[in-house]
Amino acid sequence: MKSFLTNLTLNKKLGLLLFVLGFFALFAGSPYKGSGVTLDAKELAAIVQTETDHVSAEELAGWIIGGKSDYRLVDLRSEVEFAQYHIPGAENIQITSLPDYGLLRNEKIVLYSEGGIHSAQAWFLLKAKDFKGVYMLRGGLEDWKDLILFPRLPANASPDQRAAFEKTKEVSKFFGGTPQSGLSDEAPSVALAMPKLETPAPAAASAGAPVKKKKEGC
Amino acid sequence: MNAPFFKFGLFGDNVSLIMAFLIGIGFGFFLERAGFGSARKLTAQFYLTDLSVFKVMFSAIVTAMVGLFYLSWIGFVDLSLVYATPTFIVPQVIGGLLLGFGFVIGGYCPGTSAVAAATGRIDGMVYLAGIIAGLVAFGEAFPMVKDFYYATPMGQVTLPELLHLPYGLVVFLVVLMAIGGFAGATWVEKSMAVKKGTLRA
């Protein structure tokens, strides 16, 4: 037996190894994980602690302006609310239909709701189904309104803050928002109008259209 | 730690580009070391005198297949996260034939032409320029061919799903195919050499 092996050329040895591995593959069973998923509580806790699962409103705005299309933006609010306003590129998925909606486990999914609670619950739901790339919009649509659509410059702002606000204004205008500068910290007297849905157009993903997956492979 | 690393967020978009660059350099280096920077070596495959291309490519395929199978079996790789190109069967068959014609006529495939150009071969550079011109032409003509491009979609389908066979059985069958292919290729090379009189039987 030993001399048989040593007499083989390297190619034949590799071929034999390949055959053995292939043969055992017959009995190894499916390499896909079953539907039963064991949650790693420590890992989840670590993600929550480090907030790596958060996407800030500014980041998301940057992605939309930059025409990034490697993520799916999911609006968890009701259809009525969605019809009134949604972040450009978002898809409306009710939380009850989320598990069967056909989101892929290798997609980058950004969830948002009005505040942050529903998206956090949906996040856990998807994590429990072993989705990997699930993110939440920090502060939900409320933060999106405060930081992107209707950003406010405090009356006693420093020059640095003023300079930064000029940039914020541009971002806000892109999404059809109304930046508030020079106002005091009290709530504005006029009710702010939500932008019309058609306004924030030019970025690669138009409102409501399914976001294309990033090109991969050769 | 689990793979695929990019999908698990081990590194971001920018680092992934650096990774792609490094892997590309490595790929090119080994193509050159295998002699695949030479159009003579590559086209010899179509005259059945040297089947290195077939052997190298099929080795790569079975190595990746067996590696992925066992790595995911022990739980290191999440196979459902590994990207599989969606299948559009008719356009892809026609595209494959086109690429094959180009390979026979030009003497290179896309990767090897880049290797040839990098080592200073003029035919490689001409071929690479042709690829870029073709890419631009395709990009410009895309609205016209779009319907055909997305025709006969089958989704991200794999052989075990398509054939309704157990995954391990498909692995075993492809392994048998590879070993048979290697033996057959060596036999073909030998008999061609005998025919040409460069080797005595």
Positive or negative: CA dihedral B3, B5, B6, B10: positive
Q: List residues bridging with A152 in a β-sheet.
A: A180
Binary contact (B175, A21; C-beta < 8 A):
yes
Q: What angle do CA B104, B106, B111 make, to 5 degrees?
A: 95
d(CA B190, CA B187): 5
Q: What is the pLDDT of residue A32?
A: 72
Mean pLDDT of A81-106: 84
Q: What is the pLDDT of residue A38?
A: 62
Q: Does A27 touch chain B (CB under 8 A)?
A: yes
Residue of B nearest to A34 (CA): B80
Distance from CA of B82 to the nearest CA of A (A): 8
Residue A179 belongs to domain spanning: 53-203
Q: What is the pLDDT of residue A208?
A: 42
Task: Count up the domains in chain B and report the number.
Answer: 1
Higher pLDDT, B79 or A33: B79
- A53 pLDDT higher than 60: yes
d(CA B147, CA B167): 33
Residue of B nearest to A217 (CA): B85
Neighbours of A113 (CB within 10 A): 22
> Is residue B128 included in any domain, yes or no?
yes
> Is residue B47 included in any domain, yes or no?
no
Angle, helices B89-106/B122-149, rounded to nearest 10 degrees: 160
> Is residue B45 included in any domain, yes or no?
no
Q: Which tokens go with B201?
A: 């039987």
What b-and-e string marks burial along B14-44, b requiring 16 or more CB atoms within 10 Å of the CB? eeeeeeeeeeeeeebeebbeebbbbbebbbb
Distance from CA of A126 to the nearest CA of B (A): 15
Distance from CA of B147 to the nearest CA of A (A): 17
Q: For the domain that residue A164 is a member of, what is the CATH number?
A: 3.40.250.10
Binary contact (B8, A132; C-beta < 8 A):
yes
Neighbours of B50 (CB within 10 A): 20
- Of A18, A32, A106, nearest to B175 by CB-CB distance is A18
Q: List residues bridging with A134 in a β-sheet.
A: A109
> Is residue B193 included in any domain, yes or no?
no
Higher pLDDT, A87 or A6: A87
Q: Comparing A122-126, A192-196, A207-211, B152-156, which segment has the lowest mean pLDDT?
A: A207-211
d(CA A8, CA A174): 69
Residue of B nearest to A108 (CA): B7
What separation in angstroms does the CA of B179 have from each of A22, A81, A106, A139, B52? 11, 61, 33, 57, 14
Mean pLDDT of A116-145: 86
Q: Which tokens go with A38?
A: 């064991």
Q: How do residues B179-193 score in pLDDT, each as one tens digit?
A: 999 999 999 999 988
- A218 pLDDT higher than 60: no
Q: What is the pLDDT of residue A172?
A: 86
Q: Does B166 touch chain A (CB under 8 A)?
A: yes
Q: Does B92 touch chain A (CB under 8 A)?
A: no
Residue B138 belongs to domain spanning: 94-152
Q: What angle do CA A205, A66, A192 make, to 5 degrees?
A: 75
Binary contact (A25, B66; C-beta < 8 A):
yes
Q: How do residues B61-116 score in pLDDT, each as one tens digit?
A: 999 999 999 988 887 887 777 778 889 999 999 999 999 999 999 999 999 999 99
Q: Which tokens go with A159?
A: 């020059």
Q: What is the pLDDT of residue A199?
A: 46
Contacts of B9 in chain A (CB under 8 A): 52, 132-133
> Is residue A23 included in any domain, yes or no?
no
